[in-house]
Structure 1
Amino acid sequence: MFRGTLVRLALWYLLLFALIVACFNLIVYVSLSQALQASVFNDLQNKAKVAIDNNLKVTGNTIDQDPTKLIVGPNYADVCVVIEQFTAGQTGEQVVNGCSLYGVKELPERTSIALARQGIVSKYIEVTTANETFAVRTEPLRNHEHQLVGAVQVAKPISWIGDTLDRLKRLLAIASAVAMVLGALVALLMANKSLGPIRAAFQKQRDFVADASHELRTPLTLIRTNAEAWLRRSDGGSGAVYARNVVDETDQLSAIVRDLTTLALSDARQLRIDRKPVEVSSTLRGLIDQFQPVAEQRGVTIQPDLDGGVTVQADPSRLRQLFLILLDNAVRYSPDGGAVTVGVARHNGRVAVTAVDRGIGLSSKDLPHIFERFYRADKARSRESGGSGLGLAIAKWIAEVHKGDIDVRSAPGAGTTVTVTFPVLK
């Protein structure tokens, strides 16, 4: 009974754990990515500063440099340097191009050099070539009079960052998969532990209902027997009325006890289901004939629309009980002079039994709860009509134990349609 609840609760635990794992992975990935980019950014900034401060001299508008240091010096083992002296033209004169060692035509990056002509520092841009991706920093070069005379561009290969992040993603994916498997086991254990007290409480309730139902049978039988004896000895006066009321009330209580016993035994899976081939229409027709006097007494007409020749594999007594519940509810909540339509139809290997009344109907608020035990949408009307709120709970159990479904559609003032479907016996 709790299997579905256990699975749903475990899935909620697992979903929460998955969100935590996903957030952890995102934080790790973003943090490492930002740290690697920050290290490249700082390295470019330092190399550009060293190139300007230690290796370049600006005399007037002329740049002096030591190409050996800039291209292959120990400070530039992993970067390349481009130094361009501005001239009257748009291109300028390249004093040194250490990036030529890479054979990359995309370097120097011209847009940032054009910005350097305006005194703008391009702190970090990425240039992608056929085989490599470079991080590029470009700074304007000024003389002692703070006049722009050229630009220094430092480039560093950064494809290794992408490779590192790809490896990290693979590791995180593997770790997450292992964590989710372990998390699923932990979620099941946690859900099972969480449901422990609920199972215990439900078991106590089920035991109480079963014991109470059993213990109530004998006193109710004695009360009814004594009331009938009183009724037989009465002279038709007020005593007879009282005795008849006692008999009616004990009958009502006995019906509730029988329903409670049925539900208690069904919960414990102690009810035997003796399946046999049952012809649906003939079974319904016989029940309608038996129920017709009750319907006429309430001023309700039953209109059968039965498709014959449909056989299901079912317990005959339980199937009759289900159909009686449908008929009783439809007639009970139909207005005086109303009509109830009972139909049988076959479709796609299943048989559908419908009971349609034109009574008070149900609100959308009540529909999700109608299969709950003792739930009554209109409690005052249910008490007057004798309803206990157990009928549809039993009907649902009977339908499910026969691999069927039960569906209720209703609207206030528009009546109610109850449909039960079963697989047809092949």
Structure 2
Amino acid sequence: MKIILVHGGGHGAWCWYKVVAMVRSQGSVTAVDLAASGSDPRRIPEDVSSFDEYSQPLMDLMASVAEGEKVVLVGHSFGGISLATAMEAFPEKIAVAVFVSALLPDIVHPPFYILEQHFEQLPDKYTDMQTKSIAIPGRSEPFIISILQPKLLASSLYQNCSFEIKSREKKRLSNQIEMKIILVHGGGHGAWCWYKVVAMLRSQGYSVTAVDLAACGSDPRRIPEDVSNFDEYSQPLMDLMASVGEGEKVVLVGHSFGGLNLAAAMDAFPEKIAVAVFVAAVLPDTVHSPWYIFEKQNFEELLDKYTDGVEVKSVVIPGRSEPFIIFTLLPTLLASAFYQNCSIEDLTLGNMMVRPVSIFKEDLKNRAAFTKERYGSVDKVFIVCGEDAMVTLDFQRWMIQNSPVKEVMEIKEADHMAMLSKPEELCQCLTTIVSKYVW
């Protein structure tokens, strides 16, 4: 019996990752991203401006259920309205519908009636959300977009959820200085993959920001429609670095392909970076173009090795001499080469959240080497992941030899996703680095 999980407003399939991991061992389960939610590439209101458009992924999934089969539909919060819509359209395909603290419409009033009743009973404190009003041609009323703010999430949605560190008291940094740490994800991932590290570091008093690069995580841009070169891909990090105040310094931490984004930021803002930390990350030198690292890694051979684990799409973009290549990391590769030491829950989260990515081959081949005077002037620390099956131990050692760093640290049992498989050890490394290179 297939179980279909439908998220609430502002969330996505990702919020079911623990449930999916538990249930999947016992049967078939699918968590769906409604339109413009989770990793769905559509955007509100550009692509999604009606409830029918928002619910379409669920309707498409229900339409694909074979004749004579039945599913269990589970909806949460605002997802109850999406459930009701599917129940109205496909009653013969639904064995039972489960409303988990979800909006439960009746058969007398229009669906908005339940929201009117809900809004009337909400305390004033629950109105702590950002709203934006947009005029859409053909609509009699403004189209309202709401964004749930962290204060509301903490007090009213997630108040009983884990903060990752429950028993450790928050430590204050010496001299009450909050050193900002900026975390940069690798290819296909997003700020979400740092969630354990962010929680642990914040519990100790550090100011931490995990950035979504363009067309990654919850960033609404898309590859290649909105992002077709490395500079566009890196822009969110560059904007964040530009916002760092004069005289301030940050600790930059990059993972995997994010090492190149770190290098770009180091070349542009060396005076704003106290130390740069490469976590099994691409570590360029000051002699060759950034693509040199991929040549030495035999990237094409690597693709051939993992041919069943990567979906490759070639797109012709006017003005480019080479096809623009987009990669999607498939579950088999994530399980065997990225997340092999992670919990089944974190692997499930990765499968839900990973988005298509490019490594911008033409841009990186034609880009000049990062400069010794700027990129090379920033202190660098490399954290080796000892059981990384994607960026092997030998290749990590080669990168360090090719482009020497100030210090090398190692997490022996970390797979490629050290922030998920060994978050405490990684945080220990980072706090040690801050104490050594900042004060």
> Which interval holds the TM-score relative to the shorter structure?
under 0.3
Of structures 1 and 2, the one scoring higher in RCO (CA 8 A, sep 6+) is: 2
In the superposition, the TM-score normalised over structure 2's length comes to: 0.22
TM-score by length of 1: 0.22
Larger Rg: 1
